[in-house]
Amino acid sequence: MHQHALADLVCLSHLRWDFVFQRPQHLMTRWAKHARVFYVEEPIEQDGQLARLEVTPYNEQLSVVVPRIPRGTSAETSRRWQAELLQTLVDTEGLRDYVLWYYTPMGLPITRSLSPSAVVYDCMDQLSAFHGAPPELTLLERQLFDQADVVMAGGYSLCRAKQKIRSDVHLFPSSVDIAHFRRARASQPDPDDQRDVPRVRLGFFGVIDERMDVSLIQSVAALRPDWHIVVLGPVVKIDPNTLPRAANIHYLGQKSYAELPSYIAGWDVAILPFARNESTRFISPTKTPEYLAAGCPVVSTSIADVVEPYARLKLVHIADSAPEFVRQVERALAEDAAQRRAQADVFLAGNSWDVTFSKMAGLVDTATRSSRRPRSTRPAAPRSDRPVALGQTR
């Protein structure tokens, strides 16, 4: 547990709070045990003339904030209104000494008038490599590197890349909620929609997008029609019709974080069938330690942050071609489960979200205390000609 009194926090994220429970949610729920957290999502367009902020409490200390912008608003006007809405939020909530925490550099243009006591950039992905990334993202990230008091990276290869821009980037790889996923090790009834899927089962959970190697899944399913591939998660940014279809591939849709262990409990092998392309070059899949905590053997393609450290420590099997993938699944099925779990548990012990959060909070707390930031660096933004409302949903 972190011993310091932490400052209130405003977090700007490219990920919706209720999408998939991952790094931002793990860290922000922990921060909210110590101080108030306002999790600001990207804007949503809506009908009407009024720009407003929708503020929804997630728990006592954490609120999810969504800018609602009139449909058809220009990008420049949208940014100006979001900036005003954020300033209003800071004023109405009485935020004085607070931390600005960025998951996306796209939050920079709407926060220029704010005066935080510390700026944090937790870089969890190479966002500029993602499908449909805005062209100004790289430039904004450079500016954020210049302004941030603390910069953290979510994986080994990503950290090395970012250290070329700024030498003091701190490495915080994906961690794991060990107790949560360990529930998968207990025998339990299969969820209804998985009950009738025959064994052997290869399972995957996560976002299904351009990072998934669909042809690999198709080929593995064809090579071993007696194996069944279970895929959990939302389909995003790709046409669902392009996904491989076969009698032994089962798409069960998105599941809540709470439900995942009951599904994994019924898997024989957990898989990471990521494509090797620009959008996966720097990824550090949170699923790797989660699968291991659940007690599953893991077979993955050769993603850099899975090869190092997991494959080097012989915790994960690596394969890129379909025949090799089949071979590695067979090896995974044959290995000694108790021995594998014991090895995994040694590695995971130092890798919990609580440990990660405590170290991060220490860095941010130190930055806040030693901050030379002037309390207000910029003149207040000129009031726009449109009224701006702060909507509260309870």
Using one digit for the tens of pLDDT, what is the confidence trace for 220-253?
999 999 999 999 999 998 999 999 999 999 999 9
Q: Which residues pair with 98 in a beta bridge?
A: 8
Summarised one tens digit per residue, pLDDT across range 162-210 is 999 899 999 998 889 999 999 999 999 999 999 999 999 999 999 999 9
Q: How confident is the model at residue 386 (pLDDT cuts 50, 70, 90)?
A: very low
Check residue 155 and give its pLDDT.
84
Q: Which pTM value belongs to this model? A: 0.80
For 366, the 3-state DSSP assignment is helix
**Does residue 3 or residue 36 have the better pLDDT?**
36
pLDDT score at 389:
55
The CATH number of 178-349 is 3.40.50.2000
Q: Does domain 8-175+353-392 have CATH number 3.40.50.2000?
A: yes
Distance CA 55, CA 32 (A): 16
DSSP assignment letter at 294: T
Query: What pLDDT, in 10s, does the model give residues 58-81?
Result: 999 999 999 999 999 999 999 999
Q: Which residues contact 47 (CB under 8 A, 6 or more apart)?
A: 70, 71
- Mean pLDDT across 259-274: 98
Q: What is the pLDDT of residue 282?
A: 80
Q: Which of 105-109, 334-338, 384-388 is the least confident region?
A: 384-388
Q: What is the average per-residue pLDDT within 109-113?
A: 95
Secondary structure class of 227 (helix, strand, coil): coil
Could you report the per-residue pLDDT of 116-169, keeping only the tens digit for each? Answer: 999 999 998 776 666 677 788 888 999 999 999 999 998 888 898 899 989 999
Hey, which bits of 88-140 come out as E strands? Answer: 98-102, 118-123
- Contact present, 353 and 176 (Cβ < 8 Å): yes
Q: Are strands 170-171 and 8-12 parallel, antiparallel or unpaired?
A: unpaired
- Least confident stretch, 146-150, 212-216, 390-394: 390-394
pLDDT, residue 390, reads: 56
Better-predicted residue by pLDDT, 390 or 171: 171
Residue 352 has pLDDT above 50, yes or no: yes
Q: Where are the domains of the chain?
A: 8-175+353-392, 178-349
Confidence of residue 381 (pLDDT cuts 50, 70, 90): very low
- Residue 217 pLDDT: 98
Amino acid 20: pLDDT: 80
CA angle 119, 120, 126 (to 5 degrees): 135
**Quick one: pLDDT band at residue 391, thresholds 50, 70, 90?**
low
Tokens of 229: 């591939």
Decide if pLDDT at 96 tops 70: yes
Q: How confident is the model at residue 382 (pLDDT cuts 50, 70, 90)?
A: very low
- Is the fold of 8-175+353-392 the same as that of 178-349? yes
| pLDDT given at position 375 | 52
Q: Which amino acid is at 227?
A: W
pLDDT recorded at residue 131: 65
pLDDT band for 284, please (50, 70, 90 cuts).
confident
Calculate the CA 357 to chain-centre distance.
Answer: 14
Give the CA angle between residues 27, 31, 35 to the nearest 5°. Answer: 160
- Say how far apart CA 233 and CA 252 lie, in whole Å: 7
Q: What is the mean pLDDT of residues 280-300?
A: 92
Q: Could you identify the residue written with the tokens 């796209």?
A: 106
